[in-house]
Each structure stands twice: as C-alpha cells, then as structure tokens.
Structure 1
Amino acid sequence: MTSGRRWEQVGRSGVYLLGSLVSGVATVLALPLLCILRLARFWANWHRERASRLLGAASASRPVRRATGRRAWAGPVTVRTSRALLWLPVNAMTGVVFGLPALLCVGNVVLAVIATPLWWAFGLEDRPRLFIDVPVTGWATALTLGPLQILLLTALAYVAFPPLARAHARICLAVLSDSTEEQLAERVAVLTRTRADVLDAHGAELRRIERDLHDGTQARLVAIAMRLAVARQAFSDNPRDERLVEELLRDAHEGTEEAMTELRGVIRSVYPPILADRGLDGALTAVTTGCGVPTRLDVGDLDRVPPAVEAVVYFAVAETLTNVTRHSRATAAGVRVSRTADRLSVLVTDNGTGGADDRRGTGIAGIRRRVLALDGTLEVDSPAGGPTAITVELPCGW
C-alpha cells in the first residue's frame, strides 16, 4: 500500500472511530427513544452500512424477496429486531471503548499544534500541558515537546487507527448480521416462495399460450378449412365459376398467412428464435433498432450465458422498451448489459415522464415473474416526472 493510500485509510478510520464515539454516547443519552423498534432498526442499519463501507465489503444487507405484491424485491433487508436491540448496549460500550482513544489522540495532537506557537497567549495558571502533565513555560519546552508529541501521536494514529476501526466494524457486523442458521432459514423461505411464484407464472404462461392458440391460430385454421371446403363445393357445383373459387382461395391464403404470423408470435413468446440465430447481442440489437424511441445499446463481454438467462434478458428488454414507446413519452432510451463474475446486470433507462408501476398493467409484473423464476432481482426507479431506470440482475454462473 502506498503512503498516500495509507494516510487516506488512517483518516477514514479516524473519522469512523470518532463517529462511533459520538454514536455510542448518543445511544446512551437517547436509549429510551431508540428502544422504539423502528428507530432501533434504522439505527442498526445505519451502523451496519458504515461498517460495511469501512471494511470495503459488500453490505451485509441483501435484497429481500416478498412472496407477492407490487414490489417483490424491496431494497435492503432490515436488521432483525432482536439484533437491533442487542446492538444498543453493544454500541454504547464499543463506541466509547474504541472511540475514546481516537479522541484522546486527535485532541492531544490538536493541543500540541496550538500550544507550540501560542503557549505564551495563555495565562500563567492556564498554560497548556504536553505529555499529559508537562506545562509549557517557555519556548524551549514548546519547541521540544510540542513537535515530539505531534510526531508520536501521529505515528500512533498511523499504526493503530485502521486496526481499531476494522475491529469495531467487525464487531458491528458480527452482532447485526444474521447467523448461518438464520441465513439458511431465510434462504429456504425465499426458495419456497420462489417455487410458488414459478409455478404460478408457469401456469399463467401455459394458459396464455393455450388461449392464444385456441382463440387465435385455431380459429383462423378453422376459417381456412371452411373456406377451402366452400371452394371445393363451389368448384364441384359450377366448375366454370372461376371468380368465386379464386376469391375463396385468396381468402384462405390470406388467412393462412395470418395464422402463421400468430403462430410465430406464440413461438417467440416461448423462446425467441432470434436468440438461437443471432445470440443475445444480435437479438438485443434487433429489439433496440426496432424500438420507437432512439435507443443506445451497450453490451459488454458476457462470455457464455445460459439460454434461460438469455431468454429472460431478451423478454425484459423487449417488454421494457415497449413500455417506453407506449407510456413514457421519452425521446431517448438506453440499454446496458454487463457481467460481473456470475451476475448478469441489465439496465434500461429512459428520459420520459416516469411513474412506472406494475399495478397499471405496464408489463413490469410479467418481467418480475420471469426474473424471480431464475432467482434474480428487479429494481424500478421511476419517480413522477422521470427519468426511469429499471435494473435486472440474474445469476449466470451455472
């Protein structure tokens, strides 16, 4: 680690320790108020986030899935109530224990910085004291002990602040993070709800396909068969009436083309052939090119992506851009697809009027079902007035 980065770490650690001291004292003073469950969880969440940032680790909070409803993914997990309440006395104690040495160190450095050039400005009985109990009575003492105290305490801070801050942060995360058993129980509950969602989505998809085939393609094929039967009968009754037969055959031909178009639409809704032909990059290029709003596409190096994930990404982007065209009144949109380790991220943005909400039937609920089926996450940021950003993350390491 370079010297500059080390000093930056020392500074961040010092601020963290002083903040922990302040929060520990505040916890003691406001303990009755913080025993309110909502405030206790907020207080605990704030400490967990700052501890995670200090350690440079991913936040201990993870997206939490709800079984159903408007927001199947609802931001960071709130610390469990029992752990939030446990953190109150732990924070009061550890904040003071870890923060007080930092305050003494920083305070005495500041004292030495002030006392060295300005010792004479204090009264005889109020002369500053260096090294705890050595009064500054002259320039010799000031110029000798002042810089020495600054140097020693700065060296102490350089060595001690980072490990002290990391120790406090680890204690914080140990108290506030779920145990292995709790994480496993939560995971089992999430998978149970996900399985139910997948079964519901699968059933709805089968019903949709059946409805499309029955009401659309099958009806057209029946009409074609009837026209062909009438044409054959007309030809048998009056072979010279070529105009009637030609008209009936033309109607049957047009009906066949319409039936094929509908059938292709149903097939695309199951698995788009363009993915097999052109891959995810080519399929997304076709979708963004055909969008009614100018759309910029940025696809990173995705390596190998499972077909199921490709299909969900394709449907998510296609449905979202359809919503942009129909509802957002946007003049520009963007699609960015990237991969980090085993997570595939899709970000779709537009500069429209915002207010995207799956309760309005804009297709977000369908996207969410597909994403949840693969244990992914969906976040919608669409304030009234815009802009809108929809983020999808999917596991793709299997």
Structure 2
Amino acid sequence: MTTQYGSRYGQEYGLRSGDGVYDGAPDRRRHLLPAGLRAPFEARSLREFGYVLLSLPVALALFTYTVTMLSLGLGLLVTFLGVPVLAATLAGCRLFGVLERSRARGLLGLEVAEPEPLRTRKPGVLAWTGALLKSGSSWRALLYALLQFPWAVFSFSVVVPFWTMGWALLTYPLWFWAFPLWVGQDGIQFYGDGHHAIHLDNPFEITATALAGLLITLATPWIVRALTTVDRVLVHGLLGPSRLSARVVELESDRGVVVDTAAADLRRIERDLHDGAQARLVNLAMGLGLAKEKLAEDPQAAARMVDEAHGEVKIALQELRDLARGIHPAVLTDRGLDAALSSVASRCTVPVRVEVDLAERPAPAIEGIAYFTVSELLQNISKHSKARSASVEVWRMDDRLLIQVVDDGVGGADPSKGSGLAGLAERLDAVDGVLVVDSPAGGPTRVTAELPWRR
C-alpha cells in the first residue's frame, strides 16, 4: 500500500474513474478487445460526443448573451448605467460557469472546484457591483464565454461529420439497396460529371466502403478525445480557481495546522513540566524544609533527607534535559543532522543505520522538522513494527531535502487510520513538504519525506 500526503501548488484536474472514464491511472482490468476496437462503444466516448453536441447550443447562448451585454455595457459607460450592466454581464457569465462545470463533471468526468467567492466588505448593490468588477474569476468566466463559442463551432463541425460518415459507411452493406429502390441510382456516387459517373454498387466496392467506414469509426473517438482535451483545459483554466487563490487557501489551511500544532506542543510542554519536573521540585523544596528543621535535633535523619533530595534533583535534571531535547536538542544546533540523528537512532530498540549526505546544512526550521520527522518514525518502528533492523538516509536533491526511513517489520502502516503518520503528514504539508508511505502487509515499510531546502 502506497499513500502520498502533501501540498500541491495550484489545483490538479483529473477524470472520474469508473464507467470507462480515465482517472489518470492505468486501467488494469482485462478486456476481450483492445482499446482501439472498443473505443466507439465505450461510455466515455458517448459522453464526450454528447458533450460536443451540447457545446454548440450552450456556447451560442452564452456567446450571444455575453457579446450583447458587454456591448451594451461598454456603450453605456459614458453614463453611470454602463457599470451595473457590466456587473450583470459578469454575474451571468459566473452563472453560466456553474452550468459548464456541472456539464464537464457529468460528461467529461472533470472535477473543477468553484472559483473564489466574491468578497464584499459591506452589504448592498454597490458593494456587490464593485466586487464583481474586481473579481478575476468573473473576468475569466467572460473570457471563457468569448473563447468557447468559436471552439465549439469548430469541434461540432469536425466531430459530427466524422461520426455520421463513419457509421453511415460502416453500415452501407445494410442499406445500399435503398438507392436503386428509392433514389433511382445504383449506389453512393463516388465520382460523376456530365458524361460519366461511378457508383459504389458491386460487392468489392461495398466491402471497401464498409472498411473505410470502420477506419473512420475507430478514429472518431480519439479525435473527439483530443478535441475535448481543449475543453478540459478551458474549463479548468478559466472557470476554476486561480493558482493564486488556490495557493492562498492552501496557506490558510497550513497556517491553521501550524497554529494547532504549536498549541498542542505548548500544552504538552506545560503538562510535562507540571506533572514532572515541577512536582519533583515542589517535593524537593518540602524535603529540604523538613531537613532544615531536623538538622539541629536529628542530624542523621536530616542527612538522609538531604541525600534523598539530591536524588530527586538528579531525576528532575534528567527530566528537564529530556524535555529540552524534545523541544530542540542541543546536538542538532551544535553539530547538525548527522550527529543528532545518530543520537536519536542510538535510543531506538532496533539497530539503525544512519547515512546523512549533506554538503551544507538546510534552514534551521527545516532541519528541526527533519529531526522530529525521523524521531517520530523511529518511535513508530520501536513500538509497532516488530522490525529487526532499520535504516535512515538523508540527502539533498536540487532545492529539496529528502529523508527515507526503512524497516523490515510487519508493515501495514496506514496514515488514514488516524495514526501518528497522519499528524506527521500535516506538519510536513504546512511547509510544502510531502510524505509518502509504502507499507504493504508483511513489510518492508518505506517512508519517504520531502522538505524544501530554504537556505
């Protein structure tokens, strides 16, 4: 099982899987016919053909509305009336955009998110008008209306003749008898002038016509597929969210993850201090107070109490060191990832081979995330993997820091089940990182983390 988590700059657009619609992954199902022969009969081809047929009337209505309203609005700009007319034009294009996204989703299997909503600081018609005119997604919808119409005309003009001609010629042996009976000629006229004409009427010519129709019929779905690829690009690029807005949404989500993670870390530190070192120091202060009172009347008892307090001080110091190491280990700051990861690997319950190939150190924040990523993964190996050995490799590729942790345990790690791997993936995602988990049942488990270098 391989699972990938991480950030994606902008929005990828894909195709719905199932029912013959391509989803970006190879179709591993067995078919009796090769793809070239079954394409004319697949549901995907029929849907794409239906999309092209519907595009012409929809694009005609959208283009007519847009050009009419845009011309009216621009003509009225000399007066105040032109501004609300332009706003109404953009509003109509946005509504058509909803229809087009739904049509692309249903017939092309194209999932496109809604564009960014209008942002108005105050309620009212004027604020709504200003938001429409300043919205980039509104103007992209208008541009789609202007570009879609000529492309829809071209697609319709190519696809319909190919589709009808292919099936007509392919089925010609079934209906060629209608020509002498109803038309008064021997068959389809292949060539003719005022003196001579060639009709496709003998068995060889009828068979050749059907074969030509078969070739056209087999080629038509791929022509339709190529043409609808342009439609996909138009819908995704002009009717979906812009790359900038998608990036803003992603950063807002990452900021929330960072804030939640920081708050959780603060609560953990407060709990560790309160339940650990703080409680021991309170007991230590009480013990030293009692020892001070007994010092005059029972020196031996006071000495025993001081000795016990000395032991409590050592334990409290060790807990504070462990807590400081959990916040940011000193060895990481002083000596870098190689020494820090070797230190954390030495505390793992299984033998760990560490290999760090870095000519220079990354940004301190990235270095800290890399350290805690490996620490979390090695803790998982100690607790859950039942492994006999593990390895940690760290290297740089271009402007990315790559980490790979491998163990020979039982496998079956699944971040989707709410394990610590899911939280680790969120932390990496907050800095544009990626976490890939490959953990088939029976092992081995291979976890790869990718972080920006940011030096």
TM-score, normalization by structure 2:
0.50
Q: Which whole-Å CA distance do the structure 2 matches of 1:290 and 1:172 have between them?
A: 57
**Paired residue for 1:202?**
262
Query: Of 252, 275, 279, which aligns to 2:332?
Result: 275
By how many angstroms is 1:297 displaced? 2.2
Q: Relative to structure 1, is the Cα distance of residues 335 and 228 closer, same or farther in structure 2, using a 3 angstrom cutoff?
A: same
Distance in 2 between residues matched to 1:338 and 1:217, nearest whole Å: 38
Report matched runs for 1:148-227 at 5 Å: 174=233, 178=237, 182-227=242-287
Q: Which has the higher contact order (CA 8 A, sep 6+)?
A: 2
Task: Using the TM superposition, give the Cα deviation of residue 343 of structure 1 relative to its aligned residue in structure 2, in angstroms.
Answer: 1.3
- What CA distance in whole angstroms lies between the structure 1 residues aligned with 2:41 and 2:416? 45
Secondary structure of the residue that 1:386 maps to in structure 2?
coil
Q: How many pairs were matched up?
A: 268
Structure 1 residue 354 corresponds to structure 2 residue 411: yes
**Other-structure match for 2:138:** none
- How far apart in 2 are the matches of 1:266 and 1:350? 27
The residue that corresponds to 2:449 in the other structure is 392
Matched letter for residue 267 of structure 2: R
- Judged with a 3 Å threshold, the aligned counterparts in structure 2 of structure 1 residues 353 and 93 are, in CA distance, closer, same or farther, namely farther
Q: Find the residue that maps to 2:387 and give its secondary structure.
A: coil
Report what 1:231 is aligned to: 291
Structure 2 distance, partners of 1:332, 1:295, is 6
The equivalent position to 2:344 in structure 1, one of 262, 270, 287, is: 287
Alpha-carbon separation, structure 2, partners of 1:177 and 1:332: 47
**Structure-2 separation of matches of 1:38 and 1:317:** 44
Select which of 45, 53, 74 maps to 1:28.
Answer: 45
User: Kindly tell me: are residues 387 and 32 of structure 1, through their superposed partners in 2, closer, same or farther at Cα, counting changes over 3 Å?
Assistant: farther
Q: How far apart in 2 are the matches of 1:339 and 1:377?
A: 15
SS state of the match for residue 295, structure 2? helix
Distance 1:24 1:341 in 2: 46
Over 3 Å counting, the alpha-carbon distance change for 1:228 and 1:171 in structure 2 is same
Separation in structure 2 between the aligned mates of residue 305 and residue 172 of structure 1, nearest angstrom:
43
Equivalences for residues 9-48 of structure 1 within 5 A: 27-29=44-46, 31=48, 37=105, 40-41=108-109
Distance change (3 Å), C-alpha of 1:360 and 1:265: farther
**C-alpha distance in structure 2 between counterparts of 1:38 and 1:392, whole Å:** 36
Larger mean Cα displacement after TM superposition, 387-396 or 223-232: 387-396
**Residues 235 and 363 of structure 1, relative CA distance in 2, 3 Å threshold:** same
| 8 A contact 1:323–1:362 mirrored in 2 | no
Higher alpha-carbon Rg: 2
Secondary structure in structure 1 of the residue aligned to 2:448: strand
SS in 2 for 1:355: coil
Which sits farther off after the overlay, 292-301 or 386-395?
Answer: 292-301
How far, CA to CA, are the matches of 1:231 and 1:340 in structure 2? 61
Structure 2 residue aligned with 1:339: 396
Could you tell me how far 1:177 is from its partner in structure 2? 6.2
Aligned-partner residue type, residue 45 of structure 2: V
- How far apart, CA to CA, are the structure 2 residues paired with 1:336 and 1:176? 43
Give SS of 2:362's match.
coil
- The residue number in structure 1 matching 2:420 is 363
Q: 2:357 aligns with which of 297, 300, 317?
A: 300
- The one-letter amino acid paired with 2:261 is A
Q: Which runs of 5+ in 2 are unaligned?
A: 1-34, 52-102, 112-143, 163-203, 206-225
- Distance in 2 (alpha carbons) for counterparts of 1:303 and 1:178: 40
Deviation at 1:93, TM superposition (A): 6.3
TM-score normalised by structure 1 residue count: 0.57
Q: Is 1:322 paired with 2:382? A: no
Question: How far apart are 1:279 and its partner, in Å?
Answer: 0.8
Amino acid at match of 1:186: A
Partner of 2:63: none
Change (3 A) 1:24 1:379: farther
Opposite residue 254 of structure 2, the aligned amino acid is T
Q: How does 1:114-153 map to 2 (within 5 A)?
A: none
The letter of the residue matching 1:214 is H
Deviation of residue 277 (structure 1)? Answer: 2.2
The sequence identity of aligned pairs, in percent, is 40
RMSD: 4.0
SS across alignment from 1:215: helix
Deviations 1:42-98 (A, max 9, x none): xx69xxxxxxxxxxxxxxxxxxxxxxxxxxxxxxxxxxxxx9xx9xx99x969x99x
Per-residue deviation at 1:29? 4.4
Change (3 A) 1:289 1:211: closer
2:367 corresponds to which residue? Answer: 310
